[in-house]
Structure 1
Amino acid sequence: MQLDQTTMVPAKLVKRYKRFLSDHRLESGEVITASCPNTGTMLGLTTPGRATWLVHAPSPTRKYDYRWELIEDEGTWVGINTGRPNALVEEAIRTGVITELAGYADLRREVKYGTNSRIDLLLEDPGRPQAFVEVKNCHLRREAGLAEFPDSITTRGAKHLDELAAQVALGHRAVMVFCVQRADCDHFDVAADIDPGYAVAFQRARAAGVEALAYVCHVSAETIALTHAIPIKD
């Protein structure tokens, strides 16, 4: 995924607050407010003074002219925009990067299924079971090389796992894809200490036949793209 270079603006983080807002200092010294497209805690990624990249895209339909996109963490750029992963995973499926999901003739987005839910991506191909693909953004790194999810309690995430398991019981394929928006991780695990309920639901879903994949991304101010899979701890 190419980022529009005409809109990218370097800055330094001043603070994140009220969940959806953040202040940044531009190179000119001006402090501006940017929207924060991330509903999680962003654990470990809100230290003041860190380098950031913002998208400058004024619009009469938006209150803030800037949107926070990237932050630097120990020399690595990290994507914090949780609106990106679905498109990133779709791109990686279409280009063959996610080999486990290659070869399907049709891909649909946001298809209704389960109990008042929508699956992020539905893959279909004549003669093959449908593949229900749920995508989760991941950027938590508390230990060297270890990507973790979630960074806060997510009852909704646990519900999605149960609904994926139900699709397997119906004869379909169900796949959870963790999109790790940073390149400095070589393995993945569920953060059971942060959300024990999600960890239990994850193990239950895998035992029921739900597949789990974790892919890291190359992240820069020019491009964000999935590159390769990393192992998931049993």
Structure 2
Amino acid sequence: MLIPFEVPLTPARLIKRYKRFLADVVLDDGRELTVHCPNTGSMRNCGQPGDRVWLRLEQKPGRKLPGSWELVEVAPGELACVHSARANRVVAAALQAGLLQPLGGYAQQRAEVSLRAGGSRFDFLLSEPSECVVEVKCVTLALGGGEGAFPDAVSLRGQKHLLELSEIAASGRRACLLFCVMHSGIDRVRPADEIDPEYGRLLRAAVAAGVEVLAWSVWPTPEGLQVRGELPVLL
């Protein structure tokens, strides 16, 4: 299944990323632009000066920047999607199409659901006939040899999600953490213990409490995001 981009992407070369949300690029015709970088993480191993990138350029009234950075070629023939919010959109489409078999069989799908006052908002609540809480994490950190890891920086928010998913599972409800792997060079996923050891500890504790952990491969292309299939999670 290919989920196309809203508009055709424009190729460019990365000059630099800075202030987290800005990137300077040069188009193939020599023009230099500053575009939005829609990624709050460290983007470790994603995007070095001179790398080939693809942009979504849109002229909209009131928009300060001419577009957003979407893809980067991290190695010859290997692409990553740096627009992390697309992970939820891809998962929503895949759920509706019945492509995520372990999460099939639910008649209803709601996004951004809070289960209790003061608690986290989870990405999806699947229901009917039963319920399943799903939290999605975008994976783009490739460590070489097909190995990917999450997170790419210490994630207090991710740690909180794991604690709450563990509570949900311990109460007898179904809870799932879904790694959406938007990097064509990754064929397996593990917790990044060397970056956030507490996240790794909490992830293993969550599994022991009954939380299901899945990883799904999504290959970025300039034409769109291709939902491929399940990947192993190494704990």
TM surpasses 0.5: yes
SS state of the match for residue 201, structure 1?
helix
* Structure 2 residue identity aligned to 1:9: T
Whole-Å Cα distance in 2 between the matches of residues 9 and 179 of structure 1? 24
Counterpart of 2:234, as a letter, is K
Tell me how far 1:187 sits from its aligned partner.
1.1
Q: For residues 28-71 of structure 1, give each alpha carbon's deviation from its aligned partner in whole angstroms, at most 9, with x where no partner exists.
A: 11110000000111111121111100001122332111100000
C-alpha separation between the residues in 2 aligned to 1:21 and 1:107? Answer: 34
Which letter maps to 1:66?
Answer: G
Question: Which residue, out of 91, 102, 106, partners 1:100?
Answer: 102
**Does the residue aligned with 2:234 lie in a helix, a strand or coil?**
coil
| Structure 1 contact 180–214 (Cα < 8 Å) conserved | yes
Shift, 1:5, TM fit? 4.0
Secondary structure (helix, strand or coil) at the match of 2:4 reads coil
| 4+ residue segments displaced more than 4 Å | none
What is the TM-score with the length of structure 2 in the denominator?
0.95
* 1:1-234 map, 5 Å: 1-6=3-8, 8-74=9-75, 75-114=77-116, 115-126=118-129, 128=130, 130-234=131-235
1:62-99 alpha-carbon deviations (Å, 9 max, x no partner): 21111000000112111000110111111111212210
Q: Could you tell me whether the CA contact under 8 Å between 2:218 and 2:227 is conserved in 1?
A: yes
Instruction: Give, in whole Å, the separation in 2 of the partners of 1:20 and 1:156.
Output: 19
Relative distance call for 1:22 and 1:170 in structure 2 (3 A) is same
Checking the alignment, whether the CA contact within 8 Å between 1:92 and 1:225 is kept in structure 2 is no
Secondary structure at the counterpart of residue 182 of structure 1: coil
Amino-acid identity (%): 39
Q: Structure 1: where are the runs of 5+ without partners?
A: none
Gapped regions of structure 2 (runs ≥ 5): none
TM-score of the two chains, using structure 1 as the length reference: 0.95
1:184 CA drift (Å): 1.9
Query: Partner amino acid for 2:27?
Result: L
Q: Is the 8 A contact 2:182 2:219 kept in 1?
A: yes
Query: Aligned-pair RMSD on alpha carbons?
Result: 1.1
Q: Match of 1:38, as an amino acid?
A: N
User: Which amino acid is the alignment partner of residue 104 of structure 2?
Assistant: A
